[in-house]
Amino acid sequence: MAVVHPIGIPENGSERIGIAFLAQHLPPEYLIFHNLELPAPSGLPYEYDMIVVGQYAVYVVELKGYRGRITGNAYEWKLESGAIYKSPIPLTNKKAKVVATQLARYDRGLQNVWIQSIIILTDDRAHVQLNDPQADRVLHLQEAVAYILDPRRLPIPPPSLTGLTRRIGDAIAHQFRPLHRLQTIGDYRILETIGKNNLYATLLSMDGRPITGKLAHRGSACHAGANGGGRLPTVAGRSGNFRAGDC
């Protein structure tokens, strides 16, 4: 069983499932850090579901609880529900590069550590059909364990990290902090609700722009409108639709 460092608290069931599964199936010399973020000098911090320190590489893991058929390309994923989201692969790649930079900055002896990004689907009912050359790094849980344990799956044959594990763990523990997620709607991150009535809510995004959306009520809760949570709101006073819990 891997050694787990709970930097932050899992937010949902898919995160808990993913963390528990990898912890149970990876060997004891592997380290798992989960629910953490890296403060940025300017702008928003980088958020990480999980970072796994393995025998040959460090893995930046994005956990997704999607189910059903997932289609798409290198830019967008379409879920079975019809919702469309940006592909998580480019951002996870960027997060991996940030980790590589931070490790080398903290300890120059870690500058050659290979950082690999992967996407893990925690629901076995998810079926992926992606027109993306990086689709081989979108994995189910059991596939992810096999991938992490097999250095032949990496783009280059990296040297063993034996002897560096503690130093890598120290670099992560000293530079990252517990994850504090801001609410998101579509591509926007929400600071607060600045106006609301029985029909509409206006929310303030991180970039200072108001997002106005029409609400569909069921009882006392606010639910998605007609688009069902796909491309959600537009900005600058144009209406969008908010999902349950968004407001």
Q: What values do phi and psi take at 215, rounded to 5?
A: -100, 145
Do residues 73 and 131 touch, judged by C-beta distance below 8 A?
A: yes
Give the pLDDT of residue 247.
Answer: 37
Give the pLDDT of residue 7.
Answer: 93
- Bridge pairing between strands 183-185 and 188-196: antiparallel
Gap between the Cα atoms of 65 and 83, Å rounded? 14
Give the pLDDT of residue 235.
Answer: 36
Give the pLDDT of residue 183.
Answer: 54
**Cα–Cα–Cα angle for 30, 33, 36, nearest 5°?**
165
Give the pLDDT of residue 44.
Answer: 81
Over the stretch 14-53, which tens digit does the pLDDT of each residue have?
A: 999 999 999 999 999 999 999 999 987 767 889 999 999 9
HSE-up of 144 (CA within 13 Å, CB side)? 29
Task: Provide the total of helices (H) and of strands (E) in the chain, helices listed first.
Answer: 4, 18
Q: Which amino acid is at 236?
A: A
Segment (H or E) for 17: helix 13-25
Mean pLDDT of each 10-residue bin along the chain, 247 residues long: 94 95 98 92 86 98 96 97 96 96 96 97 96 97 98 92 96 90 52 49 50 44 36 38 38
Give the pLDDT of residue 188.
Answer: 53
Give the pLDDT of residue 39.
Answer: 83
Give the pLDDT of residue 179.
Answer: 81
Give the pLDDT of residue 211.
Answer: 53
Give the pLDDT of residue 217.
Answer: 40
Which segments within 90-125 are labelled E, that is strand?
A: 115-121
